[in-house]
Amino acid sequence: MQTDGAPLAVAVAQFAPGDDAADNLAEIERLAGVAASRGARLVVFPEYSSFFTPEPGRAWVDAAQPVRGPFTTALRALADRLGVHVVAGMIERLPDEADRVANTVVAVAPGEGVVARYRKLHLYDAFGQRESEWVAPGAIAEPETFAVGGIRFGLQTCYDVRFPEVSRRIVDAGADAICMPAEWVRGPLKEAHWRTLTTARAIENTVYVLAADHAPPVGAGNSMVVDPMGVEVATIGEQTDVAVAWLSTDRIAEVRRRNPALALRRFSVVVRDDA
């Protein structure tokens, strides 16, 4: 039985979502079951877990759902059955957008349903891609967080990791750990960027980062849990799998005594007027 202050088992689950929503949910249920059987109380799945095609397009709009639609209803039933929190990316239907969707992450708690959500702020208009053609950026708002076993979690998505201010605002909101669903596309040096940036966000904020990517061939894989000192305490390679790690508030406190970077900082994050 998990108690506040005791190490908390969490998992990152890596798979390659496709354009069959039922197949995606079946894989989520299978992997969540594996994670729960290993003791995990929280499981983080990739970005676009509800539906994905390698190229965005009209199919994304057609597959979009409201936050409290069939996808999250299934996640809620899964969370209730297994007694675990589930974090996953989905394509969200926007009532005021006929041709674009939101790239949204939801956190679902057993017995409570959706307890936090996040719409991706920084869209992947880089490396030859144009996510913004079919996805609307999220509005800047106060980060939503949720707690499991005495540890508070925040949410961000994939390309956001290249913008350190996103993680810093989440930590300023009280998070001890960041859940980061991703669809980190493979490419020259992309795997190196993934590992470096994910580790940097953990080190500079002295928090855990739970990064769940798509498995190849489109995604880079390498889902991982990084601790506040930048140590990869759990890692998946290129395969579909689950990796479990134990988070500790004592570890966070120990690292922050040794490296009080948050207390010593002299700058705050300010939202741009034109953002």
CATH number at residue 158: 3.60.110.10
pLDDT reported for residue 253: 97
Residue 2 included in any domain:
no
Residue 171 included in any domain:
yes
Q: Is 257 helix (H, G, I), strand (E, B) or coil?
A: helix
Q: Who's near 190: CB < 8 A, 6+ residues apart?
A: 127, 184, 220
How many CB atoms lie under 10 A from the CB of residue 254?
A: 14
pLDDT reported for residue 4: 56
Residue 269 included in any domain:
no
Is the separation of the CB atoms in 47 and 181 below 8 Å? yes
Query: 54 lies in which domain range?
Result: 8-264
**Exposed e or buried b for every residue in 25-53, given b needs 16+ CB within 10 A?**
bebbbebbbbbbeeebbbbbbbbbbbbbe
pTM equals 0.96
Residue 270 included in any domain:
no
pLDDT reported for residue 275: 66
Q: Which residue in 47, 131, 204, 232 is the catalytic one?
A: 47
pLDDT reported for residue 2: 45
Q: Which residue in 158, 179, 183, 232 is the catalytic one?
A: 158
**Exposed e or buried b for every residue in 190-226, given b needs 16+ CB within 10 A?**
ebebbbebbbbbbbbbbbbbbbbbbbbebbbbbbbbb
Residue 3 included in any domain:
no
H-only helix segments in 86-173: 164-172
Residue 271 included in any domain:
no
Residue 190 falls in the annotated catalytic set: no
Q: Which of 191, 161, 159, 192 is nearest to 178 (CA)?
A: 161
Q: Which residue in 92, 120, 131, 183 is the catalytic one?
A: 120
Which of the residues in the chain have pLDDT under 50?
1-2
Count the helices and strands in the chain (H runs, E runs): 7, 13
Phi, psi of 203 (to 5 degrees): -65, -50
pLDDT reported for residue 273: 75
The total of structural domains in the chain comes to 1
pLDDT reported for residue 29: 98
Residue 142 falls in the annotated catalytic set: no
Residue 275 included in any domain:
no
Residue 259 included in any domain:
yes
CA distance 134 to 61: 8
Residue 179 falls in the annotated catalytic set: no
Is the separation of the CB atoms in 55 and 129 below 8 Å? no
